[in-house]
């Protein structure tokens, strides 16, 4: 659910980190904001099931909502993107993934998440014009073996360098990615649909800030010279418990907010 939709549908209390996507403007590259009310992220091993469910959702909202963006992703070889690199190697798993993606029991909306989505297109002709070594320097990993380059060999503008965010104690802050490649031979469009779930959306936002505006001597993420962001949205992902009974969920959230901040 987008920020404006929540305001219209539920009002207060509002999930603490739900706000419109914040556009990021760097000296050379930008991440635009393209607001939406509802995001449906559909997954299955069969694409026909995803399409059928999407069709039924669209029918259910006919006359009430319009489809602003639609992307059909696919698995590409061994979890690679169209740039040829494995995507999501550092994704957390198990309990670490739950902690990274889901809000805790003390949150007014427990068991929920925040998701940032962006649709990127790639200039594959320019990318393929690079040597494999230059591509690996841009990513920070080897292409075939999917091994992280040694710290001393990483360029400051390598993708994985700028995507590492640490807390005050030097521990890496994680998000759960579910990126998918997409493409059209007819249109010559090839891209990656970025999907990042987080219990603390500021982690994702800081990653994007570092990518587009640079950090630690880098002007921006080197991959952005070959990848362009066309959309950007931030959505609150409620728990199944909330969806089953929103009124009860709002009441519980209001009570938690009151207990935490009586004033």
Tens digits of residue pLDDT in 43-88: 999 999 999 999 999 999 999 999 999 999 999 999 999 999 999 8
Closest CA to 160 of 79, 232, 216: 216
Q: What is the pLDDT of residue 260?
A: 77
Task: Please report, for the chain, the start and end positions of each structural domain, with discontinuous segments joined by +.
Answer: 3-260
263, pLDDT greater than 80 = no
DSSP 8-state symbol, 45: S
Taking the C-alpha atoms of residue 159 and residue 221, their distance in angstroms, rounded to an integer, is 6
Q: What is the pLDDT of residue 21?
A: 98
Taking the C-alpha atoms of residue 92 and residue 173, their distance in angstroms, rounded to an integer, is 10
Taking the C-alpha atoms of residue 138 and residue 218, their distance in angstroms, rounded to an integer, is 12
Catalogue the active-site residues: 87
Q: Tokens for 171?
A: 């521990």
Taking the C-alpha atoms of residue 12 and residue 7, their distance in angstroms, rounded to an integer, is 7
**Average pLDDT of span 164-187:** 95
115: Cβ contacts below 8 Å, ≥ 6 apart:
39, 41, 195, 196, 197, 198, 234, 235, 237
149, pLDDT greater than 80 = yes
Give me the phi and psi of 252, to 5 degrees please: -65, -40
Closest CA to 178 of 160, 193, 195: 195
Tokens 């029991």 found at: 105
Tens of pLDDT, residues 107-137: 999 999 999 999 999 999 999 999 999 999 9
Task: Give the whole-number percent of the chain exceeding pLDDT 70.
Answer: 99
- Confidence category of residue 259, pLDDT binned at 50, 70, 90: confident
Taking the C-alpha atoms of residue 167 and residue 184, their distance in angstroms, rounded to an integer, is 40
Q: Say which residue, 260 or 55, is predicted with more confidence.
A: 55
Tens of pLDDT, residues 191-211: 999 999 999 999 999 999 999
12, pLDDT greater than 90 = yes
The overall average pLDDT reported for the chain is 96
**Average pLDDT of span 23-39:** 97
Q: What is the CA radius of gyration of the chain?
A: 19
Phi-psi region of 18 (alpha: psi -120 to 50; beta: other; left: phi over 0): beta
CA 196 to chain CA centroid, Å, is: 3
pTM, two decimals, is 0.95
Closest CA to 183 of 141, 109, 124, 243: 124
- Confidence category of residue 262, pLDDT binned at 50, 70, 90: low
Q: What is the pLDDT of residue 258?
A: 87
Return the bridge partners of 193, or none.
Answer: 119, 180
């Amino acid at each position: 659910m987008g920020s404006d939709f929540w305001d219209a549908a539920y009002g207060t209390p509002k999930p603490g980190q739900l706000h419109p996507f914040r556009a990021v403007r760097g000296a050379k590259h930008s991440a635009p904001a393209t607001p939406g009310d509802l995001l449906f992220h559909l997954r299955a091993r069969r694409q026909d099931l995803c399409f059928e469910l999407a069709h039924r959702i669209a029918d259910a909202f006919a006359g009430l909502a319009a489809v602003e963006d639609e992307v059909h992703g696919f698995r590409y070889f061994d979890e690679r993107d169209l740039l040829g690199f494995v995507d999501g190697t550092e994704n957390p798993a198990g309990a670490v993934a739950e902690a990274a993606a889901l809000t805790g029991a003390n949150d007014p909306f427990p068991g929920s998440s925040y998701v940032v989505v962006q649709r990127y297109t790639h200039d594959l002709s320019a990318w393929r014009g690079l040597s494999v070594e230059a591509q690996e320097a841009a990513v920070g990993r080897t292409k075939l073996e999917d091994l992280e380059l040694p710290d001393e060999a990483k360029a400051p503008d390598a993708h994985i360098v700028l995507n590492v965010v640490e807390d005050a104690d030097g521990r890496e802050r994680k998000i759960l990615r579910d990126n998918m490649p997409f493409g059209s031979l007819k249109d010559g469009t090839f891209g990656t649909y970025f999907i990042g779930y987080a219990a603390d959306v500021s982690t994702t936002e800081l990653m994007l800030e570092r990518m587009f505006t640079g950090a630690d001597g880098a002007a921006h993420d080197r991959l952005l010279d070959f990848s362009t962001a066309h959309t950007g949205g931030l959505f609150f992902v409620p728990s199944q418990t909330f969806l089953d009974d929103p009124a009860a969920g709002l009441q519980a959230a209001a009570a938690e907010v009151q207990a935490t901040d009586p004033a």
